[in-house]
Amino acid sequence: MATELKNLNEFSKNLSNNVKGKKVAIVVAEWNEDITKALCDGAKEFLLKSGIWESNIEIIEIPGSFELIYGSNLLAQREDIDGVIALGCVIKGETKHDEYISNAVAQGLSEITIKYNKPVIFGLLTTNNLQQAKDRSGGKHGNKGTEAAYTLLRMLEL
Ligand code: RBF
């Protein structure tokens, strides 16, 4: 379903309470920083509201979305971390860079989640323009960071 038809902050299921004590990590890209900071704030706020202790949320920053792969790999390999949220924003430009970056991140994160057998959440906005990114980072379509945090907690319940 397109985000146009679904608000990113509306969730179909309630979370159980058994995520307390889990340690999670967020890796966030600095490229398009205003957007990615809003994604990170949304994710962190949701984790805290859901009972994850602040001391159990580790955040690292990396330059651009392509580096989400290396950053997520570093975090996922750590035994003390139960799951990772990767946050970035790739905006279409005049060239095809957006496709190369987004495809690489999707492929890279799926390999990491399988390699370490723990959830690595794809919190990457892939938009046609800045307005679409604003709409999905706390604007009219909700916040992809919040949705990524919800998704991680759902996966940690399994
Ligand atoms: N990184 C992003 O996270 N979002 C972008 O929209 C984005 N656009 C880029 C456009 C170009 C032309 C280039 C060269 C890089 C872009 N990057 C972007 C950065 C990329 O993820 C990576 O950090 C760099 O390519 C590393 O040198």
**Owning domain of residue 38:** 24-148
77: pLDDT strictly greater than 70: yes
Cβ-based neighbour number of residue 158 at 10 Å: 5
Q: Hey, which bits of 6-108 come out as E strands?
A: 24-29, 57-62, 83-91
**Residue 13 belongs to a domain:** no
Whether 68 is in a domain gets the answer: yes
Reported as a single tens digit per residue, the pLDDT across 20-56 is 899 999 999 999 999 999 999 999 999 999 999 999 9
Q: Given this model, what pLDDT does residue 108 score?
A: 98
31 alpha carbon – ligand 1 mean position (Å): 7
> In sequence order, what are the residues at sequence separation of 6 or more whose Cβ sits closer than 8 angstroms to the Cβ of residue 141?
3, 4, 6, 7, 8, 135
21 lines ligand 1 (CB under 6 A): no
Q: What is the pLDDT of residue 41?
A: 98
Kindly report the three-state secondary structure assignment for every residue of 4-32.
HHCCCCCCCCCCCCCCCCCCEEEEEECCC
Residue 5 confidence class, pLDDT cut points 50, 70, 90 = low
pLDDT, position 57: 98
pLDDT at 89 over 90: yes
Domain annotation covers residue 111: yes
Paired tokens of 53: 């202790």
Of ligand 1's atoms, which has the minimum distance to the CA of residue 66? 21
**Which amino acid, residue 81?**
I
Does 64 contact ligand 1 (Cβ within 6 A)? yes
CATH code, domain with 109: 3.40.50.960
Among 90, 92, 94, 124, say which to mutate for ligand 1: greatest number of ligand atoms within 8 Å of CB.
90
Please tell me the predicted confidence (pLDDT) of residue 1.
59
How many structural domains comprise the chain? 1
Residue 80 lies in a domain: yes
Stretch 73-77: mean pLDDT: 98
Give 105-144 pLDDT, tens digit per residue. Answer: 999 999 999 999 999 999 999 999 999 999 999 999 999 9
Q: Is 50 exposed, middle or buried (0-12, 13-18, 19+ CB in 10 A)?
A: middle
Using the mean position of ligand 1's atoms as its centre, give its distance from the Cα of residue 30 in Å: 10
**If you measure from the C-alpha of residue 26 to the centroid of ligand 1, how many angstroms do you get, rounded to a whole number?**
19
Q: Quick check: is 158 in a domain?
A: no
